[in-house]
Structure 1
Amino acid sequence: MIRRFVNLVAVNKSGRTYSLHRLDVSKHLFYQSTEEANANKIHNGGRPSKIEKLRRLLPVSMHFHQFPNSTDRWWWLKDDKFVLLNSHSSEGRILHLTEEGPAFLYDADARSMSAIPTRDGPVGSYPKFISIAGDGAELGEVYLISNLFREDQDDCPNFEVLKFNKYKWRSLPLPPSGWRLGPSLTTVDSGHTICVSSSAGTNCFDTRSQEWKRTGDWKLPFHDRAHYVPELDTWIGFSSRFALSLPYDLSASSDLSDIDGQCAPTLQHVWEDFNLPLEKESIVLSKRFLSVTIDKPKRWTHLNQDLLNLGGGRFCIAKFFCELESVTFADNEYDETGGEAMAESCTRNFVMLTGVEVLRGGESGEAGLRMVKHRSK
């Protein structure tokens, strides 16, 4: 299914609510064709197109009230979870999980709400969800993997499943070697196998037999979730390279089709989708002393990222940033050190959404894949 919308959930701190906004990707993140995207790049001299600003949020599709209605002023930090369900018949089914357990299913296309069985205990820290589509119009199932790994608490499992045909949460066995914080994960075999990877190695869970299998002592080459694209027979995700405050790059690997092999999968392609900007403003304090200046550089520091699979090789890259501003006082005539830097502060937090598509054929027509960047907001 090719998705038309990206679902944005915003927090209203004063109203103690979450609001759902649906962004039409054809209007905001993609050009009408690949040719138009390439032509725009050529028109800009090979430079990326200007990042447009979404000046106001789109109309609200649904309000979600925090439950229960807490008096805690920091209620929004508890962070209710919103999960888009993978379905063959609809792209608007959203699972809403509250921190205290109650859950709801909202269908944005049908504008309807359904109750979901309550979980026992909190979701845990930085949970990861894998939604597997059912057959036909069936909703399928959702797997919850929580990074909160506490073997001494049986009432706080970190691996469980919600099967919509049974409407019941069920705890599942943990992998043989457990997992550490920040695993990478993906699905193979048409979603019937979930592979979880960390520094402890890679284990795969068969959703039909409900059993784990040790696959290797190596780690998947992706950071966080990788998505399988059947049209390209490859997996797309963020590269697992680490650089302080720098965003991860989009990458691809086709080695996961034989994940039971002895060799660790490798990346065939890594694409740099964004370069961090740096703005600098210099202020001369006095016309009599032109060498005495205050420099106010601004830079973006990377906080987090997410990759939304839109289908057909199209993706929305969501990257979260903080704009840092520092002030440096300098007397350029007498000071050769560049001045004394004062406090650095975050002036704003924001998210940048970028529409990209991955196609067959390299940049010069050779075999392989290429990434085409469309629009950013």
Structure 2
Amino acid sequence: MSRFFSPRSQLTAAAAIVEARLPRPSMTFYDPSSDHCSGSMHFMLLDRDKVLATDQTGRASVYHAGLHALRTAPTLTRPKHRPVSVAVGDSSLYVLDSTSRTPGGPKEEHCFEALVYERGRLYNDVFWEHDWCCHSLPTPPYRPSAIHAYTVFGGSDLWVSTEDEGTYSFDTARGAWANQGHWKLPFRGLAHYVPEYKLWFGLSRSNSKGRHNLFCAFDLATAAKRQSTPVPRNAWKDLWPPKEWMPDTSFLVHLGSARFCIARFFGNYRRDHPCQMDADAEHETLAVFTAVEVQPCGKTGKGLQMIKYKSECYNLGGGIDQWVL
């Protein structure tokens, strides 16, 4: 994404979305049930260069993008069906399955575990080298339901909000859950803490005017003290897509400091008459990556402003799954 932030990109940011092509694949993953697709796999970011790949059986591997190398990883304690993951520190990845069904059981319950990089230690009189290890963690106290928002708070606590209940926190140091209240985190997906501004940044939920997925800043520390829903301090619109594009999903990726990539996916039907939609129309998935940066306003430095850089559009064809890490 570094090329997106050139001075020339900022000057042309207000122009139309630029069509582009993704680079050639550097690695291809296949799940055990198919020789042609990876629809049953999930991908999670360990750090800036390492990606954890898991299949429907829980088996895992780690791909190092910088070295273009692949290594085995510990099998997860249970397969994940709809996992959310977040890194805490530089050696722990916490993985929570929001809708995991107990094998052979009639009810659903969450599956929560951590993938931790442990230093060399003695085990059964044998010295093990540094390696990743899986550890089962306490089951969340809320009823199984979809997790709509999550983030890291205070450097070591994992916060999650569900659709049906309030906000809960998990203290990674003590290994204990706590209820933060019936209020919900006001963003969708993962929000990122930026220490330069002591604020969290994420994509907003719907507000009273029906606007959602706006790039926003939040003060979660103050909201935690008041035990109330955080109110967005800023809300910026980064993209004006064509009307015929149907919004699908959006993701926010923190690139370091106060720079972000906003990835938005759209559905589009290729047809001669844009106002008509028929079963024979060819469906395609479009991905738009936009580079933005948050800076203080003006010479006084009071308030924040979003600086928009380049936006590139990639045609991904139709009927594919995608992960943004």
Q: Same fold (TM over 0.5)?
A: yes
Say which one has the larger Rg: 1
Aligned with residue 117 of structure 1, among 66, 70, 74: 74
Aligned with residue 148 of structure 1, among 76, 96, 99: 99
AA at the equivalent of 1:300: W
Deviation at 1:259, TM superposition (A): 1.8
- Structure 2 distance, partners of 1:68, 1:358, is 43
- Structure 2 distance, partners of 1:209, 1:154, is 28
**Is the counterpart of residue 360 in structure 1 residue 296 in structure 2?**
yes
Q: What residue number does 1:103 align with? A: 60
- Structure 1 distance, partners of 2:53, 2:7, is 33
Deviation at 1:375, TM superposition (A): 0.3
**Is the counterpart of residue 68 in structure 1 residue 21 in structure 2?**
no
- Structure 2 distance, partners of 1:179, 1:252, is 29
Q: What residue number does 2:316 align with? A: none
SS in 1 for 2:142: coil
SS in 2 for 1:186: strand
- Structure 1 distance, partners of 2:84, 2:261, is 18
Query: Is the contact made by 1:187 and 1:195 (CA closer than 8 Å) also made in structure 2?
Result: yes
Q: What residue number does 2:166 align with? A: 201
Deviation at 1:216, TM superposition (A): 1.1
Q: What residue number does 1:300 align with? A: 245
- Structure 1 distance, partners of 2:180, 2:144, is 14
Aligned with residue 240 of structure 1, among 192, 196, 205: 205
Deviation at 1:70, TM superposition (A): 2.6
CA deviation vs aligned residue, 1:109-154 (integer Å, no higher than 9, x gap): 23332211112443112x11101233xxxxx111111121446479
Q: What residue number does 1:159 align with? A: 112
SS in 1 for 2:278: strand
- Structure 2 distance, partners of 1:239, 1:357, is 17
Deviation at 1:156, TM superposition (A): 7.1
Deviation at 1:372, TM superposition (A): 0.9
AA at the equivalent of 2:258: G
- Structure 1 distance, partners of 2:65, 2:271, is 43
- Structure 2 distance, partners of 1:307, 1:161, is 23
AA at the equivalent of 1:82: F
Query: Is the contact made by 1:184 and 1:220 (CA closer than 8 Å) also made in structure 2?
Result: yes
CA deviation vs aligned residue, 1:19-58 (integer Å, no higher than 9, x gap): xxxxxx122x22248xx72x445xxxxxx22211223x32
Give the direction of change, closer, same or farther, for the CA distance of 1:201–1:370 in structure 2 (3 Å limit).
same
**Is the counterpart of residue 347 in structure 1 residue 283 in structure 2?**
yes
AA at the equivalent of 2:263: A
- Structure 2 distance, partners of 1:63, 1:172, is 31
Q: What residue number does 2:195 align with? A: 230
- Structure 1 distance, partners of 2:311, 2:212, is 15
Q: Considering Cα pairs closer than 8 Å and 6+ residues apart, tell me whether 1 or 2 has the greater RCO.
A: 2
**Is the counterpart of residue 375 in structure 1 residue 289 in structure 2?**
no
Give the direction of change, closer, same or farther, for the CA distance of 1:341–1:375 in structure 2 (3 Å limit).
closer
**Is the counterpart of residue 130 in structure 1 residue 75 in structure 2?**
no
Gap regions ≥5 residues in structure 2: 119-130, 313-325
Q: What residue number does 2:6 align with? A: 31
AA at the equivalent of 2:230: P
Query: Is the contact made by 1:232 and 1:359 (CA closer than 8 Å) also made in structure 2?
Result: no
Give the direction of change, closer, same or farther, for the CA distance of 1:268–1:223 in structure 2 (3 Å limit).
same
- Structure 2 distance, partners of 1:129, 1:346, is 34
Deviation at 1:360, TM superposition (A): 1.9
Deviation at 1:179, TM superposition (A): 5.0
TM-score norm. by structure 2 comes to 0.80
Gap regions ≥5 residues in structure 1: 1-24, 42-47, 135-139, 279-298, 330-339
Query: Is the contact made by 1:220 and 1:264 (CA closer than 8 Å) also made in structure 2?
Result: yes
CA deviation vs aligned residue, 1:194-215 (integer Å, no higher than 9, x gap): 0011241111100010001111
Q: What residue number does 1:83 align with? A: 44
- Structure 2 distance, partners of 1:205, 1:97, is 24
AA at the equivalent of 2:292: V
- Structure 1 distance, partners of 2:234, 2:2, is 26
Query: Is the contact made by 1:242 and 1:248 (CA closer than 8 Å) also made in structure 2?
Result: no
CA deviation vs aligned residue, 1:207-245 (integer Å, no higher than 9, x gap): 0100011111100111111100111211000001179x9
Work out the percentage of aligned pairs sharing the same amino acid: 28
Q: What residue number does 1:283 align with? A: none
**Is the counterpart of residue 220 in structure 1 residue 182 in structure 2?**
no
Q: What residue number does 1:94 align with? A: 51
**Is the counterpart of residue 310 in structure 1 residue 255 in structure 2?**
yes
- Structure 2 distance, partners of 1:49, 1:341, is 28
- Structure 2 distance, partners of 1:366, 1:123, is 45
Aligned with residue 18 of structure 2, among 52, 57, 61: 52
Q: What residue number does 2:128 align with? A: none
Q: Report the count of equivalent residues.
A: 296
SS in 1 for 2:62: strand
